[in-house]
Amino acid sequence: DSGVTQTPKHLITATGQRVTLRCSPRSGDLSVYWYQQSLDQGLQFLIQYYNGEERAKGNILERFSAQQFPDLHSELNLSSLELGDSALYFCASSVDGGGTYEQYFGPGTRLTVT
């Protein structure tokens, strides 16, 4: 158990809908990362937040947005969902100190868009 929690574990929704995925980082970690993993795209970095502020952006679609709250938990919002958005969504956290940015991954949310 990495100490990173994600909810829900599974989500099934229809095209055009909007969903919110939630992540709580490990205690003491200030950085939260979001990743998308689908069979044909591998592991894709979406976005990173550090202590409430956006720090880095990857291949995140405009239909997707995220935020990190004062208690450091983070939410990833996916809107106007398409079939191609079906994937595993991982959250990871890191402490960002001591010379390493080692990331600890949550169990993931499996999103199925029908």
Partner 1 sequence: ELKVEQNPLFLSMQEGKNYTIYCNYSTTSDRLYWYRQDPGKSLESLFVLLSNGAVKQEGRLMASLDTKARLSTLHITAAVHDLSATYFCAVDMLNYQLIWGAGTKLIIKP
Peptide bond into 8 cis (omega under 30): yes
* Token duo for residue 3: 């100490």
- Residue whose CB is less far from partner 1, 15 or 51: 51
Question: Smallest distance from the beta carbon of 66 to partner 1, in angstroms?
Answer: 15
Question: Smallest distance from the beta carbon of 81 to partner 1, in angstroms?
Answer: 21
- Residue whose CB is less far from partner 1, 57 or 63: 57
Binding site for partner 1 (CB under 8 A): 2, 31, 42-43, 45, 48, 50, 55-56, 58, 88, 90, 92, 96, 99-108
Question: Smallest distance from the beta carbon of 105 to partner 1, in angstroms?
Answer: 4
Beta strands in 1-114 (DSSP E): 5-7, 10-13, 19-24, 31-38, 42-50, 53-57, 64-68, 74-78, 87-94, 104-105, 109-113
